[in-house]
Amino acid sequence: MASTTPTDSLPPTPAPPVTGLNSKSTGRAGDKVFLALSRGSGILLLVIMASIAAFLTYRATLAISENEGNFLTTFDWNPAGDPPVFGIAVLLFGTVVSSIIAMVIAVPVAVGIALFISHYAPRRLATPIAYVVDLLAAVPSIIYGIWGALFLVPYLEGLNLWLDDFFGWTYVFEKTEVGVARSLFTVGVLLAIMILPIVTSVSREVFLQVPRMNEEAALALGATRWEVIRMSVLPFGRSGVISASMLGLGRALGETMAVATVLSPSFLISLHLLNPGGGTFAQNIAAKFDEANEFGRDALIASGLVLFVLTLLVNGAARLIIARRKEYSGANA
């Protein structure tokens, strides 16, 4: 950067005490330029974000003010109709439920893989497994979608029928409609596979950072390997695993193409998770955007804003949880 030149040309004087970025006492040109640059970039970012938010909110209010249905409770999406009626109830339900299913499946498995890689597997096995898991994250989501539609859906049909047979009494796993397994449950399984790499790899890094002393102390007290994990690794890694899960949840909430390819969308809420039907915010936007007129796009933007708020809430909650457990966080080790 140009800002280094004046600093270099100065005669070697005793360095003044460093007092932080905001200090104006140094008087060096380079510092000033750098300060202005970084402050400017920060402000520019905020201005861009704010104008995007303002634009989206404006477009969303245009659509919502014309909506004849209740935006939050209507089970329909017909902004092109006369009168226009649309609501996000089904999308909100589908997004939340499919993400919960994904989390329930993915997090325990990911923690298991991470523990295996970091504490159980011999080094020669651990490295390739870690690579393979990381590689899964590099596969684009449309590929997961195609794989899901062509391979996972036919295979999950058997699992669905089995769940229906043995767990039909739970209501949730009762299959009341015929149809292939293009259901919210299948979407949840697919999302679980998709978020597995990110959760695994962050958890693994955290587990590897458990202070050696803690583990050795536990071993010295006569703990078995599982007891070591239970008493020192898991408590230490808890906040890291939570952050990893939130990263995964973020991906699950916003996943578009894979869901759009696998799900058979409909505007009905059903707690029978094996029935085809349902929808998610991102999937709905992808499916409706092409044919939507300008008003329809405004309506889709409004639904996208709800997804944005939902993601914000989830991230905020995660930060709260992590903040409460700060003393365990890897950064302090």
Partner 1 sequence: MKLQRKNGLRAAALGALVVSGTLVLSACGSDDNSGGTSGSGETTSAASDIKCDGATGKLLASGSSAQKNAMDLWVKNYMAACTGVEVNYKSSSSGEGIVAFNQGTVGFAGSDSALKPDEVEESKKICKGGQGINLPMVGGPIAIGYNVPGVDKLNLDAATIAKIFNGKIKNWNDPAIAELNKDAELPDKAIQAFHRSEDSGTTQNLGKYLGATAKADWPYEAEKKWPAPGGQAASGSSGVAAQVKQNEGAIGYFELSYATSQSIPTVSIATGAAAPVDATSENASKAIAAAKVKGTGKDLALELDYATKAEGAYPMVLVTYEVVCDTGNKPETLDTVKSFLTYAAGDEGQKVLSDHGYAPIPAEINAKVRETVAGLK
Pattern 124-163, binding to partner 1, x per CB under 8 A? -------x--xx-xxxx-xx--x-------x---------
CB of 294 to partner 1, least distance (A): 7
Nearest to 184 by CA among 255, 245, 111, 79: 255
Binding status of residue 231 toward partner 1 by CB under 8 A:
no
Tokens representing 210 are 């458990």
Pick the binder of partner 1 from 264, 280, 303, 329 (CB under 8 A).
264
- At closest approach, how far in Å is the CB of 97 from partner 1? 18
Interface size with partner 1, residues (CB under 8 A): 38
How distant, in Å, are the alpha carbons of 23, 143, 149, 156, 273 from that of 263? 56, 15, 9, 13, 12
Q: Tell me the H-state helices in 116-183.
A: 123-136, 141-147, 153-167
Residue 333 in tokens: 């080790």
Region near partner 1 per CB under 8 A, out of 29-37, 77-85, 242-250, 321-329: 77-85
Spatial neighbors of 140 by CB under 8 A, at least 6 apart, are: none
| Shortest distance, position 179 Cβ to partner 1, whole Å | 5
- Establish if 33 lies at the interface with partner 1 (CB under 8 A): no
- Cα–Cα distance measured from residue 46 to residue 243, given in angstroms and rounded to the nearest whole number: 25
How far does Cα 205 stand from its chain's mean position? 18
Who contacts 115 (Cβ-Cβ below 8 Å, separation ≥6)? Answer: 207, 229, 233
Phi (first) and psi of residue 83, to 5 degrees: -80, 155
Q: What does the longest C-alpha to C-alpha distance in the chain come to?
A: 83
Interhelix angle 184-208/153-167, nearest 10 degrees: 100
The smaller minimum CB distance to partner 1, of residues 218 and 273, is found at 273
Q: How far is the CB of 155 from partner 1 (least distance, A)?
A: 13
* Closest separation in Å from C-beta 263 to partner 1: 8
For the bound state, the minimum distance from the C-beta of residue 125 to partner 1, rounded and expressed in Å, comes to 15
Q: Lay out the site mask for partner 1 across 167-196 (x = CB under 8 A, - = otherwise).
A: ----------xxxx-x--------------
Q: Does 77 bind partner 1 (CB under 8 A)?
A: yes
Q: How far is the CB of 158 from partner 1 (least distance, A)?
A: 14
| Number of Cβ within a 10 Å radius of residue 313 | 10
142/221 with CB nearer partner 1? 142
Contact at 8 Å (CB) between 101 and 189? yes
Report the interface residues with partner 1, using CB under 8 A. Answer: 77-78, 80-81, 131, 134-135, 137-140, 142-143, 146, 154, 177-180, 182, 197-198, 201, 260-261, 264-266, 268, 276-277, 287-288, 290-294
